[in-house]
Structure 1
Amino acid sequence: MATLRRSFNLLRGFRFEQTAPEVFYGRLAEDTALLLECLHADCVGGGLAGRRILDVGGGPGYFSQAFAARNCGYVTVEPDAGEMAAAGIAVDASVRGSGTALPFREGVFDVTYSSNVAEHVPDPWTMGEEMLRVTRPGGLVVLSYTVWLGPFGGHETGLIPHYIGGAYARDRYTRRHGHPPKNVFGQSLFDVSCTAGVRWARSTKAEVCSVFPRYHPAWAWWMVRVPILREFVVSNVVIVLRRKQ
């Protein structure tokens, strides 16, 4: 699925994130479900049907329909009640809770994933450890997040200003628009590197199945293996872990 056509189509969708989130997240939801389907087949074996899936930081539930279509037992956890109700989407199993202290017992999910959430958490690796904890032995953890020094690290504050500094980008956006950005640096947006994620993955007791750039075609995946370069050219990194038996 990692083709140049896919990369181009996802890139086109980014312009709708703020103005028409249902368009952006609808496309991203289907892409995410397909990605997890492929990863599960490759790393564990079999499809997602009948599997228990936990979406950490699932927001208002944009991804629920994509997983329901695959006959999964889909659960989403989100700390912000306002965010949960933002789109008016009814999700059968939506739990309010923190990603860094997941309100579930150990080993209950077949697949635990988080999409574009780690950069919004002050301690993303605590969240990663919690994701591992609630995943069954032999199950899959997929952690995907936006790299700070990548082109989209500043989110809606622009492609360039965050290279000067997160506080500068935040304050510049506020001056230009008359209100703070949705993602406020230091409060709801943090500097998370690709290297930190790779180091965390290697430090866990889980099997590292794969680390790759999410939105790049397969022929460009080598970039994630090159220190320094990966911080600037990998816009979003995917870490795939399999909890050991």
Structure 2
Amino acid sequence: MQALTTLARRATLARSVRLLGEFRFEQSDPARFYGGLADDTVALVEDLWTDVTGTASRGRTVLDVGGGPGYFASAFSAAGMQYVGVEPDPSEMHAGPAGEPGAGTFVRASGTALPIATGSVDVCLSSNVAEHVREPWRLGAEMLRVTRPGGLVVLSYTVWLGPFGGHEMGLTHYLGGARAAERYTRQHGHRPKNDYGSSLFAVSAADGLEWAASTGALVAAFPRYHPRWAWWVVRVPVLREFAVSNLVLVLRPS
């Protein structure tokens, strides 16, 4: 595995506490939540690029699969990277942080069938999307296809058995996905946005690690919201399913 020295210096307990604390504002103050998450994601990509390639990320092309509203577009553009967002929902494509069109370029498409030329981008990113895709490793394969040799694929997703696996259903997902969705519907009078079996799926840490290893391109895997001293949990079967929360897979196509 690649030594991530630059990223490791930023992966502190203070950062972990700050990021996890922001989750409570996802519904009440989305600008605060998504803006902070976007800034952290840019820093993550910058650090990974420096650690893996030894060069600066400025000027590189970033393809963001499922980036949603323009928070990520604005953050990556401000960091000097060329941003292209792929989003299947047209209502999400041009919603910038202040209600204005976001920076960068947007393409309406599915992440499992990207209308992007093979080997055409420097970085292909997907943050918190794979758990919403029925075939997550088909998404991963497409991300690898469009990334140039020597570039980076950064696939970050929420692990089903972690504490955030149920999304707005909370910890009831430990009762089973279908049961949790039905319970949410009874309580709120409507189906959850992240509805198990249609827009939310049980994706394990083990499946992601197995897929990534099978590609021959895996260079690093770590829990996104943990401090560096807790990254070891990724190496422990069973424990990682409950403790990792969000798994980052970093691949470098050759």
TM-score normalised according to structure 2 size: 0.93
Match of 2:5 in 1: none
**Which deviates further from its counterpart, 88-97 or 28-37?**
88-97
* 1:164-179 map, 5 Å: 164-179=175-190
Q: Report whether the alignment pairs 1:83 with 2:95.
A: no
Question: Whole-Å Cα distance in 1 between the matches of residues 143 and 242 of structure 2?
Answer: 27
CA deviation string 1:182-238 (max 9, x = no partner): 1111000000000000000011132x1100000000000000000000000110000
Q: How far 1:110 sits from its partner (Å)? A: 0.4
> Could you report, residue by residue, the CA deviation over 1:6-31 in whole angstroms, capped at 9, with x for unpaired residues?
00000110011122211111000000
Change (3 A) 1:176 1:85: farther
Question: Per the alignment, in what secondary structure is the counterpart of residue 183 of structure 2?
Answer: helix
Which residue, out of 177, 201, 204, partners 1:193? 204
Matching residue within 209, 214, 227 for 2:219: 209
Q: How far apart, CA to CA, are the structure 2 residues paired with 1:62 and 1:225? A: 33
1:46 CA displacement: 1.4
Pairing 1:49–2:69 present: no
Report whether the alignment pairs 1:228 with 2:249. no
The one-character-per-residue Cα deviations of 1:104-130 (angstroms, maximum 9, x if unpaired) are 110110010100000000000000000
Distance in 1 separating the partners of 2:23 and 2:193: 15
- Matched residue SS, 1:192: coil
Q: Residue type matched to 1:238 in 2?
A: V
Deviation of 1:154 (Å)? 0.0
Q: For residues 95 and 60 of structure 2, what CA distance do their matches in structure 1 show? A: 27
Deviation at 1:91, TM superposition (A): 3.2
Specify the alignment match of 2:173 in structure 1: 162
Unpaired stretches in structure 2, ≥5 consecutive residues = 1-9
Query: Aligned letter for 1:101?
Result: A
Match of 2:109 among 89, 97, 108: 97
Moved more, 227-236 or 53-62: 53-62
What is the distance in 2 between the residues matched to 1:102 and 1:171? 33
Percent of matched pairs sharing the same residue: 63
Aligned-residue CA RMSD (Å): 1.0
In the alignment of these two chains, the number of paired residues is 242
The TM-score normalised by the length of structure 1 is 0.96
Rate the CA distance shift 1:115–1:85 in 2: closer, same or farther, 3 A.
same
**Structure 1 residue 36: deviation in Å?**
0.5
After TM superposition, the runs of 4+ consecutive aligned structure 1 residues lying more than 6 A away are none
Q: Say if 2:74 and 2:102, in contact at 8 Å, map to a contact too.
A: no
Amino acid at match of 2:169: T
Of 50, 74, 77, the residue aligned with 2:83 is 74
Distance 2:95 2:122 in 1: 28
Q: Which has the higher helix share?
A: 2
